[in-house]
Amino acid sequence: YGTRNMDTPSPQVWEADGYRYYQWAMHEVEPVIEEPLMPPIAEVVPRVEVSTLESWDAIFDWYRDFQVARMVVTEEIQGLAEELVEGAHTDEERLARLYHFVQTNVRYISIKGGAASSVSGHLALETLEKGYGDCTDKAILFATLLKAVGIKAYPVYVGTNDEIPTLMTEVPSYYGNHCINEIEIDSSTVYLDATGETSRYPSFWSADHDVYAVNAIKRTVQRIPVPDPSENARTYEYQITVSSRDCEVTFVAHYSGDYEDAVRWHYQHRSEEETRQIMEEMIHEITPYSELIDYSLENLHDISQPFGMVLRYRLRNYLKKAGDLLLLELPDLSGRYTFDEVSLTERRYPVSYSTSARITHSYSIKLPGNLTIVYVPRVLHLTHYTHDGELCADYSAAFTTGENVVDFTDDLKRYRRVIPVSSYHDYKDLVDRISVFAKEKMVFEERTE
C-alpha cells in the first residue's frame, strides 16, 4: 500500500475471523478550495492506494504479451517505413519523419472491444490500413514503424499531469490514462506522443511531462523529465517606427514546444476570415485606435517546420501626452506578463504548470528627430531558487539607447513545472516584480522648432 497527504500514513492492522484488516482514519478533514493552476484534485487530497501485487512483474507480463503480439513488422509496414525515411541521413531524421507521419495520417478514434484492445490497441497493420486509432493504437503503430528501420521504440503508459495524480511506484497496479512512446536513439532516451496532430519533433504534449512512464517491454518505471525552457520557447520581435504620436509596428513571433503545438492547431482550425478577425482583436487589445495592415502565417500545415506569424499594424495616438512629455509603453509586454496564478497572498497547494517555459522579447524603436529620450527603465535581473536550492526561474531585461533609437530585450525562463508551497512567496515576488516592470513607460521630450 501507499499513502499521500495523510496525517498518519501507517494503518491500524488487526486480524479477525481469518482476515487481516487495515484501517486508515482521518477526522475533520478540511475541504478543498480551488486555487488557480493547482494540481489535479487527487494529488492534494488524502489518498490511499493498495495492491495485491508484490512487484510490477505481473503487470509487465500482462502488458508486454499484448504489445509484442501487435508490433509485427509486415511487408506493408516495412515497405512504407523505408519509403518514408528514404533520403534521411540520420536516425533522428528518420524518427522525425515517422513521428509526423503517424501524427498526421492516423485520425484519433477510439474503439475498444475488450481488455486486450484497451491495454494495447490493435495490430499495427490494422491501424495503418484503417487510418484511425486511439493513443494506444498510434503508439503501437509508431513503435512498429521505428522497429522496421532499426530504431528501438516502445509503447509506454502514462498518467497525464492535468488529470492523474503522481504514480505511487511502490504500489504496482494498472496505471495511466494515456499511451505514448519511449525511444532509444543516439545513446539517449526520448519520449514522443504521436496522438496529437501538430507537435513538431522533438516536442510532445506537455501533459506527458514530469510523469511516470510504465514500459512493460523493458520492465521499467521511469519519470519523464521536464524539458529545458528553450524547448518550450516563445520569441517575439518588434520593429516600431514612431511618427508624431503614432506607431507603425512589424511583429514577428516564433514558437517551439507545446505552445507552438497549441498555436498551430488553433489556426489550422480557423478560416481565413476568422484568422483575420483574431488578428484584429489582438491589436485592439493594445489600443482601440489600431489598424491591421497585413499578416501572414508561416508553415501552418507543415509540422516539420517552425510555425510563426508576422503582423504589420498601426497604433494611432499611442504615445500619451503628460504635460510637456510623451510616454510610450511597450506593446503587449504587460499583457504577457500577467500571472493570475500568483493572485493569492497565500496558497495551500502548489502552482502546477504543464511544463517549463521561456519567453523572450526584442523591441527596436525608431524615433523621429524631434524626440529626446528623457527616461528608460533600469536594467533588471531576477533569480529564484527553491528552498532545496534548485533553480526555479530567472529573468533579465535591459534597455539600450542610441541616436533616435531605443532597443529592449528580455528573457524569462521557468525551469520548474511545479512551484511548491514553500517557494510560493519568493516565486510570487519574482513574477510580481516582472509584471510591475512590464508596465513601466519610456519618457520623451518633444522639441519644437
DSSP string, 218-266: TTEEEEPPPPPGGGGEEEEEEEEEEETTEEEEEEEEEE-HHHHHHHHHH
Question: Is residue 116 very low, low, confident or very high in pLDDT (cuts 50, 70, 90)?
Answer: low
Instruction: Report residue 142: phi and psi, to 5°.
Output: -60, -45
Percent of the chain with pLDDT over 90: 94
pLDDT at 186 over 70: yes
Helix, strand, coil proportions of the chain in percent (round to 5)?
30, 30, 40
Average pLDDT in the chain: 96
Rounded distance, CA 294 to CA 296, Å? 7
Rounded distance, CA 255 to CA 259, Å? 7
Look at residue 114 in the predicted model and tell me its pLDDT: 66
Tell me: the pLDDT tens digits for 161-174? Answer: 999 999 999 999 98
Look at residue 272 in the predicted model and tell me its pLDDT: 97
Q: How far is CA 31 from CA 23, 45, 165, 216, 387, in A?
A: 22, 9, 18, 38, 27
pLDDT at 113 over 70: no
Q: How far is CA 446 from CA 189, 246, 323, 441, in A?
A: 59, 14, 11, 16
CA 220 to chain centre: 25
Tell me: the pLDDT tens digits for 277-328? Answer: 999 999 999 999 999 999 999 999 999 999 999 999 999 999 999 999 999 9
Look at residue 124 in the predicted model and tell me its pLDDT: 97
Q: In residues, how long is the chain?
A: 449
* DSSP H or E segment with residue 131: none
- Burial of 251 from C-beta contacts in 10 A (0-12 / 13-18 / 19+): buried
Instruction: Report residue 204: phi and psi, to 5°.
Output: -150, 165
Boundaries of every domain in the chain? 2-39, 57-225, 230-446
Residues 95 and 189 sit within 8 Å (Cβ to Cβ): no
Mean pLDDT to the nearest integer, 377-395? 95
Would the CA dihedral through 156, 162, 163, 165 be positive or negative?
Answer: positive
Rounded distance, CA 134 to CA 113, Å? 13
Question: Is residue 40 very low, low, confident or very high in pLDDT (cuts 50, 70, 90)?
Answer: very high
CB neighbours (10 Å) of residue 153?
Answer: 24
Question: Is residue 259 very low, low, confident or very high in pLDDT (cuts 50, 70, 90)?
Answer: very high
Instruction: Report residue 340: phi and psi, to 5°.
Output: -65, -25
Mean pLDDT to the nearest integer, 133-140? 97
Tell me: the pLDDT tens digits for 223-240? Answer: 999 999 999 999 999 999
Would the CA dihedral through 55, 61, 67, 68 be positive or negative?
Answer: positive
As a whole number of Å, the CA-based R_g of the chain is 27
**Fold adopted by 57-225:** C8orf32 fold (3.10.620)
Question: Is residue 366 very low, low, confident or very high in pLDDT (cuts 50, 70, 90)?
Answer: very high
Nearest by Cα to 254 from 298, 190, 214? 298
Residues 22 and 16 sit within 8 Å (Cβ to Cβ): no
Look at residue 387 in the predicted model and tell me its pLDDT: 87
Nearest by Cα to 341 from 5, 30, 34? 34
Look at residue 448 in the predicted model and tell me its pLDDT: 77
pLDDT at 119 over 90: no
- What would the CATH number be for the domain defined by 230-446? 2.60.120.1130
Rounded distance, CA 326 to CA 317, Å? 11
